[in-house]
Amino acid sequence: MRLSTYILRRVAMLIPVLLGVLVIIFVIAYVIPADPARAWAGPRARAEQVQVLEERYHLNDPIYTQIWIYLKNVVLHFDLGVSPTTGRPVRDDLKAFFPATFELAMCAFFLAIALGIPLGVVSALRRNRPTDHFSRVIALTGVSTPLFWSALLLQFLFYYKLGWLPAMGRSTIDITRYTGFVLIDSVLNWNWTAFGDAAIHMILPAATLAFYSMGYLVRITRGSMLEVLEAEYVITAKAKGLPRKIVIYRHALKNAIIPPLTVLGVEFGWLLGGTVLLETIFAWPGMGRYAAGSIVMVDLPAVVGYTLVVAMIMLLSNLVVDILYSVIDPRIRVGGKRR
């Protein structure tokens, strides 16, 4: 199969999955709660006000009509509905909150890769030596520590006790926004104080998130590196007297890197999921905090919109990884019928 055909087929397969996600979240969001319109209108609302809301959000229609109307709006107008609590279109809300979350997730993602993969490789090379034990303990502790607790602890330590890092929020310096990503915008503004401020705000949340998601990467990298180091071609390379560095980098690492690559998609999904907790604790103005707030307010259009966007990102990140994977290892594309 050619690469372009493969990509097209995978993209086409996304559509039914996304549709299913929409149906599931609709069923959960709209069928179970007793009376969303009453919750939106507030406890002292008159019956007519509740009725107006019910009309506007088609709450009295059967579920399939609701899904159909929603779908029509999404596909035709790219419209995710209006949030009853903020009174703004959900699309605009998400657009405003998306960059903060994405920036945080990306920073944590690269931090996790930059720390996790080398740690896994070193761990494999120094197997059963102190370095190996150390990195395994780090990885396991990271995986075992609940995100909310490590966030709280780091906040306590680095803000309250040491006063080195800010505990909450994003950047406080006003700059012209081009992209919504503060780190990029401050560079575009050529404003290095703003960049420093944004970076300092980023450290704690990104480090917490990276520490949490790094463990899995360390484990996979270590395992795959150990396996490759025992492979015959590596032994041959060693036997013919190649320097250790060349054997490790050119023969072993190149092949060992494929399994960690495949979990990167899952990894990114975890990071995005983790942002819900993290943004609440660090008062980070992102989508996760928006979603958590919307759930409390029974703001169904916002919850459905958020879920759709996140599901889309997760599916796309998995797709990107699969494509990357098949570029590196062409056997994947051909072996569609592998048992």
Partner 1 sequence: MRIPGSMLFSSRYRLLQKRLHPITKEWGLTFYVLRHSTLAVVGGLIALAFIFIALFGAMLAPYNPISANIQDRFQPPSASHPLGTDTMGRDVMSRMLAGAQHSIKAGLIVLAIAVPLGVLLGGIAGLFGGWIDEVIMRVTDMFLAFPSLVLAMAFSAALGPSLFNAMIALSIVWWPMYARLVRGQALAVRETSYVEAARSRGASNWHIMFKHILPNCLSPILVTLTLDMGWVITAAASLSFLGFGAQPPIPEWGRMVSDGRIYMLRAWWMSVFPGLGIVLVVLGFNLLGDGIRDSLDPKLRRLTEVTWKPEKTSSSSTD
Q: Which residues bind partner 1 (CB under 8 A)?
A: 16-18, 20-21, 24-25, 28-29, 32-33, 140-141, 143-149, 152-153, 156, 160, 269, 272-274, 276-277, 280, 291-292, 295-296, 298, 303, 306-307, 310-311, 314-315, 339
Q: Least separation, in Å, of the C-beta of 29 and partner 1?
A: 6
Query: How many other C-beta atoms are found inside a 10 Å radius of the C-beta of residue 209?
Result: 28
The distance of closest approach from Cβ of residue 183 to partner 1 in the complex, given in angstroms and rounded to an integer, is: 24
156 versus 192: smaller Cβ distance to partner 1:
156
- Closest distance of CB 245 from partner 1, Å: 26
C-beta separation of 103 from 111 below 8 A = no
Complex with partner 1: residue 21 or 256, whichever CB lies closer: 21
Q: How far is the CB of 12 from partner 1 (least distance, A)?
A: 13
Q: Closer to partner 1 by CB, 1 or 292: give it.
A: 292
* H-type alpha helices, the chain: 3-26, 36-41, 47-56, 63-77, 90-125, 130-144, 147-155, 182-188, 192-229, 232-239, 244-246, 254-256, 258-282, 287-296, 300-328, 331-334
Shortest CA distance to 81 belongs to which of 162, 331, 92?
92
Q: Which is nearer to partner 1, 29 or 198 (CB)?
A: 29
195 or 325: whose CB is closer to partner 1? 325
DSSP assignment letter at 161: I
Nearer to partner 1, 116 or 269 (CB): 269
Give the sign of the dihedral formed by CA 58, CA 289, CA 92, CA 297: positive
* Minimum gap (Å) between residue 273 Cβ and partner 1: 5
In the complex, the smallest distance separating the C-beta of residue 306 from partner 1, rounded to whole angstroms, is 7
In the complex, what is the shortest distance from the CB of residue 311 to partner 1, in angstroms, rounded to a whole number?
Answer: 4
Of residues 195 and 274, the one with the C-beta less far from partner 1: 274
Pairwise CA distance, residues 88 & 82, whole Å: 6
Contacts of 325 (CB under 8 A, 6+ apart): 258, 261, 262, 332
Measured on CA atoms in the order 6, 9, 11, 13, is the torsion positive or negative?
Answer: negative
